[in-house]
Amino acid sequence: MERYDIAIIGTGPAGVSAAITAKIRGRKILLIGNNKISDKVSKAHTIKNYPGFIDVTGKELSQAFNNHLKSLSIDITEDMVNAVYAMGKYFHIQGKKNNYEALTVILATGVDVTKPYAGEYENLGRGVSYCATCDAALYKEREAIVIGFNEEALSEAEFLAQTAKKVYYMPLYNKDKDINTLQAGKDSLKDNIDIIKGKPLSIERREDKMVLIMEDRELAADGIFVLRESMKPAQLVPGIKIEDNKVITDKSMASNIKGLYAAGDITGVPYQYVKAAGEGNVAALSAVGYLAALNRQ
């Protein structure tokens, strides 16, 4: 497997800034995220405090980020990372599409403000999963519930339906509008996918079944997939120190795990684009310095 010097997870201001700095410093980098850059940036109406840009729109700033990346021949690898494991001398990065390896990692995934469901963390790995494409083989001829927080979750549900006996798909994005659209186009979906409505409240394990408890009913299956747009750092990186759902870093943006850095909203307030970009720059410089020290050993 190809091993990179620096893997940067996230394509918001922090991730883009880190990628640019690391590339200029001559490092072999992997930038994982969304080709459209951050939704938080692209959907912003007006940004007034980003140096060099006066009253820039989010769409314009996103395009500027993309242009800068292209000018340095930096490609974005479209994937969602499910886990980052410190392996001693390198990091193993588990994505939904592929696995990757890097000597250092910079987390720039933003902040996940959604609260976990009661029973979600307690049953993680015991019937609750965050990656349908990763665990699809475990559900051959079995039933599963997929809770989708974005449109990409549907493709995971369809992939799961290739092996599972039954998939219950609950879209939580744009609520009734998207449910009605999906139901209207049900003929284009696999026969073993049912579109369901509801508001999830909690998850329980009862004997050999997982039960999703909603406001008006309960639904049992062999497993439940919770597919959010991003993962909380404690679930993403085993052993990383966090406080109030933010990664604890020093001034070099280093976490408690050697070789692993964090930048942007994931490190806490203020949630500002300019602050995120600055931290991304510092994190990349620190990672470059860390790699140089390794080479001297």
Residue type at position 105:
V
Residue 44 and residue 116 in contact, taking contact as beta carbons nearer than 8 Å = no
**Half-sphere exposure of 297 toward its Cβ, with a 13 Å CA cutoff?**
7
- Whether residue 187 is predicted with pLDDT greater than 70 in this model: the reply is no
- Please give the Cα distance from 52 to 44 (Å, whole number): 17
Residue 146 and residue 128 in contact, taking contact as beta carbons nearer than 8 Å = no
CA end-to-end distance (rounded Å), the chain? 24
- 228 versus 65: which is more confidently predicted? 65
Which tens digit of pLDDT belongs to each residue from 78-93?
Answer: 998 989 999 999 999 9
Which tens digit of pLDDT belongs to each residue from 1-27?
Answer: 899 999 999 999 999 999 999 999 999
Residue 148 and residue 173 in contact, taking contact as beta carbons nearer than 8 Å = yes
Which tens digit of pLDDT belongs to each residue from 109-167?
Answer: 988 777 889 999 899 888 998 888 778 889 999 999 999 988 888 888 999 999 999 99
Q: How far is CA 177 from the centre of its chain?
A: 25
**18-32, 186-200, 202-216, 282-296: which range is least confident on average?**
186-200
DSSP H helices in 143-196 = 152-161, 175-184
- Please give the Cα distance from 120 to 116 (Å, whole number): 6
- Whether residue 76 is predicted with pLDDT greater than 70 in this model: the reply is yes
Find all residues with CB under 8 Å of 35, minimum gap 6, and list them. 11, 76, 78
Give the DSSP per-residue string, 79-146: --EEEEEE-SSSEEEEESS-EEEEEEEEE------PPPPBTTGGGBTTTEES-HHHHGGGGTT-EEEE
Residue type at position 285:
L
Which tens digit of pLDDT belongs to each residue from 34-44?
Answer: 888 877 788 78
Residue 208 and residue 221 in contact, taking contact as beta carbons nearer than 8 Å = no
Q: How confident is the model at residue 186 (pLDDT cuts 50, 70, 90)?
A: low
Residue 188 and residue 182 in contact, taking contact as beta carbons nearer than 8 Å = no
